[in-house]
Amino acid sequence: MQNENNQASAPVAPRNMPEPINSPKQPLVTTKRVGLVVVGTLLFALGLFVGQGRISLTGQPQSTTSTVSSKIDYSQLDELYKTLQQNYDGTVSNQKILDGLKHGMAASSGDPYTEFMTAEEAKEFSGSLQGTISGIGAKLELDDDKNVIIAAPLVGSPAEAAGLRAKDIIVTIDGDSAYGLGVSEAVKKIRGEKGTKVKLSIVRNKSEQLEFTITRDTIKIPSVVTKTVGDGKIGYIQVSQFSGDTDELTEKAADSFKSDGITKIILDLRDNPGGEVTTAINLSSLWLDYGDKIVEQRRGKKVIDTRTATSLNTLKGLPTVVLLNAGSASASEITGLALRENGAAIIMGEKSYGKGVVQQLFPFSDGSSLKVTVAKWYSPKGTNVDKKGVTPDVEVKMTEEAYQGGTDPQLDAAVTYLQKQ
């Protein structure tokens, strides 16, 4: 690719990874760039589901003693601005400079989930939470080494159809290195008009390099899909994200299952990167008694919020299996643990993503927003899963043969288990 100085540069390998196959060796960029929306990741043009239980869009800002200094020597910024203005061989608008400062200020926290969004980015993020996205339909995150990774391909999306998987590391986008990009920058490079193509080079399982050419599309997918499986007495609820239509769709599904005599439930939260905390509370409440603890938020050792079940316990008492995998994060993990620790379900599948923090969105008058980590969340029994994930009661792996053959051993295992109950 060509940089601003018109010098050719080679793709950069993901940090702490083997060099990509047939890729020239090159020192890794060490600039610490962050951006994520949950587990949750922006969920916009690319299908970013940021948020991931991740985002508490309701409630007031929490009061706290900030560790951020109240005094900044702005003369240093002015000195940098003047030097750039006088010496840069090119044009940079004042708005771009301001946006860069804001992005950098949020990134300076060192928290991959705290992120500034311009008005355009915030608008797309808001749309993504309502289930409307354009792009390839994959949620992006940064891993601990600042590699851009696929957190989860959206169910029914071009990304899923192409074969992208959770934990895939994006090495290049249309031939340009993805290392050092924040999530917002990566999304901008991957998104585009419907019908156009984007080429991604990814590393899977830290060793296998794969190339994908994916046609972009406009995607509007309901967050909930339901059906009956097995002997016809097992209700299947797949929730792809916790968004604006999830409450209504899951409540309708629960009422329909009850009237149809369904006696067992599979709740599929695989590749669900999260979303709105309140939606996770309402979904969990379908299985729980009023007042049962679902999640607790803490800042340091101080409990700042405790969320409990509502009275919508339509599915209470029905044997239930929750399916999780590496793409299940934040709100998905909150729901799975709440049901397991209240004795309402068992968990099958694979270890989940591991996102145990909560973000809050602060909008500004110009349409921009700051998404900032405000607390950590804990399960009813005091478990925080950040960077650890939820270990299933019954581990069932998706093999390469299953992916290639279009079979689903995890769903099959859940059906077999419930038919014996």
Q: Which residues are catalytic?
A: 330, 341, 355
Q: What CA–CA distance (Å, rounded) separates 119 from 316? A: 43
Collapsing DSSP to helix, strand or coil, 405 comes out as: helix
Inter-residue contact 227 to 241 (CB < 8 Å): no
Beta-carbon contacts of 70 under 8 Å, excluding residues fewer than 6 positions away, are none
How many Å apart are CA 240 and CA 269, to the nearest integer?
7
Which residues, in sequence order, are bridge partners of residue 270?
Answer: none
Token pair 């916790």 in the structure block, residue = 242
What is the Cα 119 distance to its own chain's centre? Answer: 21
d(CA 146, CA 169): 10
Report the alpha-carbon distance of residue 69 to residue 57 in Å, rounded: 26
Structure tokens of 376? Answer: 């950590």
User: What is each CA distance from 336 to 213, 239, 390, in whole angstroms?
Assistant: 34, 12, 8
Q: How far apart are CA 167 and CA 171, in angstroms?
A: 12
State the burial class of residue 406 (Cβ atoms within 10 Å of its Cβ: 0-12, 13-18, 19+): exposed
